[in-house]
A and B are shown apart, each in its own frame.
Chain A
Amino acid sequence: MYVAVKGGERAIANAHRLLADKRRGDRQVPEIGVDQIDGQLALAVDRVMTEGSLYDRKLAALAIKQARGDLIEAIFLVRAYRTTLPRFGFSEPLDTAAMQVRRRISATYKDLPGGQVLGPTFDYTHRLIDFALMADSEGEAPATAPAEAEERMLRVTDIIGAEDMIEANPAPGEGQPVGDLTRDPLGFPAGRDLRLQNLARGDEGFLLALGYSTQRGYGRNHPFVGEIRMGEVEVEMLNEDLGFAVPLGDITLTECQMVNQFKGSLTEAPRFTRGYGLGFGHCERKAMSMALVDRALRADEFEEERKGPAQDEEFVLSHSDNVQATGFVEHLKLPHYVDFQAEISMLRAMRAEVAQRLAGQVPEAAE
């Protein structure tokens, strides 16, 4: 009886074995391959890479397989792996203006240099379940346009910036270290670098809800989607021996630049302000939510009253990480019987006191 209550090693080992069995599922059905997850559940892989903050498609796909499709669990696996990796430097700042664009849309201009490129989007699909997918399908090859000469696709914020109508991006601080909250504990107030890092790693659902809340009046910031672009960007790293930056390879990114509520003063002409979102792979919902929350968190910079949770830096940054959040919420499953015993003993004593007091009062009340 006593030992049964405490669980034990064999129970754990057997639970792990059962879990492995459930992960595999029906043995009559072929096992899902990491390449299938990578290729056919690509958006799940993108999310795990973004929130796991590690760009490695195969590893993210493997984590999804091991986690039985539980994406937060997969993110956790990737993070725990990432933390053991040596860090040998920082890349040069990415130039998203040089992106090989696969999708690029702007809500602020009907047409613009480079045009609107829809790319692979759910946006204008009808959300009808396609029963044809129940069967295997080869699928139709995509339509292609003739390859154009490589040219930089101008960023919308640069177009607006050319007229000085939007605040300038802060100049990169020469030699200034960029914060890294995986290496240093987060303190408050946090700089925008740390805020953006936190949001990039933050839970998509949490940021979505916060971004949504700003649209519903809890810290409204008048957003326009200046531009969303998705495609490949080259990562470069400075090689100190050579004295110049060398390319490491391409990564796929989604960037969202929000154009927000203008700000001016008696002495300064008004300009639009910015909110910024960036994530690995194709992660539009995340990048847009991030941009809304980034702008909301800049309330102090623009002397805006903080009225909504999305504007509250400590609240947002302390609760955005789903690995932390799920750990603390789910730890309630762990035994707490020592504390519960302390509490129930105290409650019994308190109830006994009340009972005693009431018993003493009955004659008085009767009088």
Chain B
Amino acid sequence: MTGNTPMADYNFAYLDEQTKRMIEQTKRMIRRAILKAIAVPGYQVPFASREMPMPYGWGTGGVQVTAAILGPDDVLKVIDQGADDTTNAVSIRAFFARTARVAVTTATADATIIQTRHRIPEATLTADQVLVYQVPIPEPLRFLEPRETETRTMHALSEYGLMHVKLYEDIARHGHIATAYAYPVQVAGRYVMDPSPIPKFDNPKMDDCPALQLFGAGREKRIYAIPPHTRVVSLDFEDHPFERNRFDVPCALCGATDSYLDEVVTDDQGGRMHVCSDTDHCESRRAKGHRGTMLADEPVHPADRRSKLEAAE
């Protein structure tokens, strides 16, 4: 995927659609899995994940889900660690720009499909949007029970005692639940689900979200979903309620106090700056005149970045 050559010899969005000869084709198979996942919120639907031209672990599940739902009129945004310009996000966006020639954007509000790794955008999503998560290990019980045969039975029986024991042991050992990301949730009062490795800061955004949330795990061959406006509860105890982590400092570039921050090491003397992990959120705020303490005199306007992006792709 080095050049800008159109991939005329590949299908729209890479994966094959149904043709006259072949009834059971890839996108149709993935769409079926997605529909089933939406019908049974939080349940991991096995699907026949295909080899994609990027490695497992790089978001092949998310890419397949996006490829299956992407239409020619969609506007795609891809983020990794909250940012549009991380290398993997750039690569996946370029992949769809090349194979599907869809419009791409970095503006959360303009996107109809947002594929993400490790974050949920700060801006509230709308009913017109779909958030596609890249998932490494879809099974929330995996590190408590390595066997798939066991964990599927545990889900079938709603046998989640093991997870509560784990959380309780955390409290006994550390005084609180020692899970900072990939914090387990219960969906629609039934299935315990892995939210993918988003920081638990993002967990509350999944609850009652107007947007459809789809989760794709390519290597593990699972798709699951949270339909719009579904109850999503982070697991906790009455006397140890779920707590969202907070930052003591505002964003050094835009001054936001309510966003998730990346810690950037600025020198070898212990210097640090904290900046929004969601680059679009940060740039939009700066465009509106919000300024942090370390913002240089010439702020980068999102529009400039977008045109730069288009030029590069």
Contact yes or no, B219 A185, CB < 8 A = no
Asked whether A314 is an interface residue with its Cβ less than 8 Å from the other chain, the reply is yes
CB distance from A75 to the nearest CB of B (A): 10
- Tell me whether A102 is interfacial, beta carbon within 8 Å: no
B85-93, B107-115, B159-167: which lies at the interface: B85-93
- B286 CB → nearest A CB, Å: 12
Segment at the A interface, from B35-43, B186-194, B204-212, B256-264: B256-264
* Residues of chain A with a CB closer than 8 A to B51's CB: 76, 79-80, 82-83, 182, 323
- Measured in the bound complex, the distance between the Cα atoms of B90 and A3 in whole Å is 14
- Report which of B15, B87, B253, B277 forms a contact with A11, defined as CB distance below 8 A: B87
Checking B1, B46, B175, B182 against A353 with a beta-carbon cut-off of 8 angstroms, the contacting residue is B175
Say yes or no: is A17 at the interface (Cβ < 8 Å to chain B): yes
Please tell me if A335 contacts chain B, counting CB pairs below 8 Å. yes
Say how far B251's CB is from chain A's closest CB, in angstroms. Answer: 11
B 194-231 to A, binary, CB cutoff 8 A, 1 in contact else 0: 00011111000000000000000001011000000000
Interface 1/0s, chain B 273-313, versus A by CB < 8 A?
Answer: 10101010000000000000000000000000000010011
Does the CB pair B148–A188 fall under 8 Å? yes
Mark out the residues of chain A between 253 and 281 whose CB falls within 8 Å of any chain B CB in the assembled complex: none
Which residue of chain B has the shortest Cβ distance to A79 in the bound complex?
B51
Contact between A336 and B118, CB atoms less than 8 A apart: yes
Known contacts A327-B60, A337-B262, A346-B180; A9/B219 CB under 8 A: no
Does A363 interact with chain B (Cβ within 8 Å)?
no
Contact yes or no, B81 A331, CB < 8 A: no
> Are A185's CB and B22's CB within 8 A?
no
CB distance B149 to A188 under 8 Å?
yes
* A350 on the B face (CB < 8 A): yes
Complex Cα–Cα for A331 and B55 (A): 8
A187 to B152, CA, bound (A): 11
Instruction: Contact check, B264 vs A327: say whether CB atoms are below 8 A apart.
Output: no
Which residues of the partner chain A approach B184 to less than 8 Å between Cβ atoms? none
Q: How many A-B residue pairs have CB under 8 A?
A: 164
* Partner pick for B21 among A17, A86, A186, A187, CB 8 A cutoff: A86
From residue A311, how far is it (CB to closest CB) to chain B in Å?
14
- Contact A2/B263 with A80-B52, A327-B60 known, Cβ cut-off 8 Å: no
- Please give, as numbers and ranges, the residues of chain B lying within 8 Å of A80 by CB-CB distance: 51-53
Flag whether A125 is at the interface (Cβ < 8 A): no
| Residues of the A chain whose Cβ atoms lie less than 8 Å from the Cβ of B80 | 334-335
In the complex, the chain B residue whose C-beta lies closest to that of A19 is B2
Q: How close is A349's CB to chain B, nearest CB, in angstroms?
A: 8
| Cβ–Cβ contact B50 & A182, under 8 A | yes
Question: Within the assembled complex, what's the spacing in Å between the Cα atoms of A191 and B228?
Answer: 39
CB distance from B47 to the nearest CB of A (A): 6
List chain B residues, Cβ under 8 A from A110.
none
Interface positions of A from 66 to 108, Cβ below 8 Å from B: 76, 79-80, 82-84, 86-88
Contact A341 B56 (CB under 8 A): no
Report the minimal beta-carbon distance from A2 to chain B, rounded to whole angstroms: 6
Kindly state the separation between the CA atoms of A57 and B14 in the bound complex, as whole angstroms: 24
Q: Give the contacting residue for B200; candidates A3, A184, A188, A342; CB below 8 A.
A: A342
Shortest beta-carbon distance from B176 to chain A in Å: 8
Known: A183-B48, A185-B49, A327-B60. A335 touches B86 (CB 8 A): yes
Q: Hey, which chain A residues are within 8 Å of B10, CB to CB?
A: 84
Do residues B52 and A338 form an inter-chain contact, with CB atoms below 8 A?
A: no
Which residues does chain B contribute within 8 Å of A9, judged by CB atoms?
A: 85, 90, 94, 309, 312-313
B46 / chain A contacts, CB cutoff of 8 Å: 185, 187
Interface centre among A188, A329, A332, A337 (most CB of B within 10 A): A337
Sample of 6 A–B contacts (CB below 8 Å): A2-B273, A5-B264, A12-B90, A80-B51, A337-B263, A341-B261
- B residues sitting closer than 8 Å to A (CB atoms) are 1-2, 10-11, 14-16, 19, 21-22, 24, 46-53, 55-58, 60, 80-83, 85-88, 90-91, 94, 117-119, 136, 147-149, 174-175, 178, 180-182, 197-201, 219, 221-222, 245, 247, 253, 260-264, 266, 273, 275, 277, 279, 309, 312-313
The 7 closest A-B pairs by CB, nearest first: A331-B57, A327-B56, A342-B180, A327-B55, A185-B46, A342-B199, A16-B2
